[in-house]
Amino acid sequence: MKNIRLAFLGLGTVGGGTYEIFQMNKDLIEERTGCTFTVTKILEMNTERVKSLGLDPELAVTDPALIYDADDVDIVIEALGGIDFPAEVMEKSLERGKHVVTPNKAAVAANFDRLKAAAERGNAEFRFEASVGGGIPALTSIQEALAANDFTEVMGIVNGTTNYILTKMGEEGMSYEDALSDAQARGFAEADPTSDVEGIDAANKLSILMYLCFGIYIHPNDIPREGITKITMDDIAQAAEENCKIKLIAGAERNGDEITYSVAPRFVPIDHPLAGVSNEFNAIYITGNAVGELMFYGKGAGALPTGSAVAGDIIAIARNM
């Protein structure tokens, strides 16, 4: 069997979750791909984390050049978080012919063209399914199964933390602070939850969705954005009176040549499919001129759901190799 050599940059929630999936479903993945998967390099400062996953701490390096210049790495899994450093390591890996998989929406959204160009230079694959909607396979579907469509609208609940907070406030009367702490304890939130609650994370994801659906690149900083920090229990009661739920919507709509886009809390009528998306679940609601209206639904955060999408990208690359 062909052996695929993996390098993990970061073994936190998603990196670790991805590795666990390869352990948990080892036989099944080998049978489906006809490949074995071996970790040959790790960039992770937390040696205890490396050991607790059953990996050899000897594989750990501190210099990323030992990964992007390595002869024994086929696929780099970038799950570090941050923007500039991971983008640089991904770019160097891609232009040296290493395939890259990442769930890092902030780094992808801010560096889309640069990373795509590096992939072309290195004749390597660059995949980022997990960057939007965690475990939901929306990006691959948009680029493959739905590729024949002219899209007119994409609307998503793409941040699990804020959806969890709004659900707990709306359905259990929980305070904003308690709901946020609960979401953080469950591992949904970013290291700095400002990015979640101010809609920055959702703007990163909308930038990626717009690129794939409409072929336009809008930097996340140029997306009009409002978070959920100002939502009060009165707002939630007002929404209920109007038969609506408040949801943080990342949406873009195309009318002719004009595309309007924003991230903002919106009143969503309770009979709209997005109103039924609760807790940490995400959904991406797309309208295409051939397929009509379509909604993807699933877990948008967490180690195994997000790891599922990362692992799927790794397997797709392995099959192409």
Could you say which of 16, 137, 160, 288 contacts ligand HSE (CB under 6 A)?
160
Q: Judge contact between 284 and 206, C-beta under 8 A.
A: no
149: exposed, middle or buried (Cβ count in 10 Å: 0-12, 13-18, 19+): middle
Q: What is the dihedral angle through the alpha carbons of 204, 296, 103, 206, rounded to the nearest 10 degrees?
A: -10
Stretch that binds ligand HSE, among 2-10, 33-41, 168-176, 183-191 (CB under 6 A): 183-191
Q: Does 287 bind ligand HSE (CB under 6 A)?
A: no
Q: Does 67 bind ligand HSE (CB under 6 A)?
A: no
Please, what is the minimum distance in Å from the beta carbon of residue 13 to ligand HSE? 9
Nearer to ligand HSE, 160 or 265 (CB): 160
Stretch that binds ligand HSE, among 75-83, 90-98, 184-192, 243-251 (CB under 6 A): 184-192
Instruction: Clarify whether 205 is annotated catalytic.
Output: yes
Going from the C-alpha of 163 to that of each of 80, 180, 268, 304, the distances in angstroms are: 24, 10, 13, 19
Distance CA 99, CA 210 (A): 24
Q: Which of 205, 245, 247, 299 is catalytic?
A: 205
Q: Which two tokens stand for residue 25?
A: 């479903």
Could you say which of 196, 214, 223, 236 contacts ligand HSE (CB under 6 A)?
196
Please, what is the minimum distance in Å from the beta carbon of residue 280 to ligand HSE? 7
Please, what is the minimum distance in Å from the beta carbon of residue 96 to ligand HSE? 28
Distance CA 198, CA 211 (A): 22
Q: What is the dihedral angle through the alpha carbons of 167, 171, 172, 174, rounded to the nearest 10 degrees?
A: 40
User: Hey, which residues are catalytic here?
Assistant: 205
Residues that bind ligand HSE (CB under 6 A): 134, 159-161, 188-190, 196, 201, 300-301
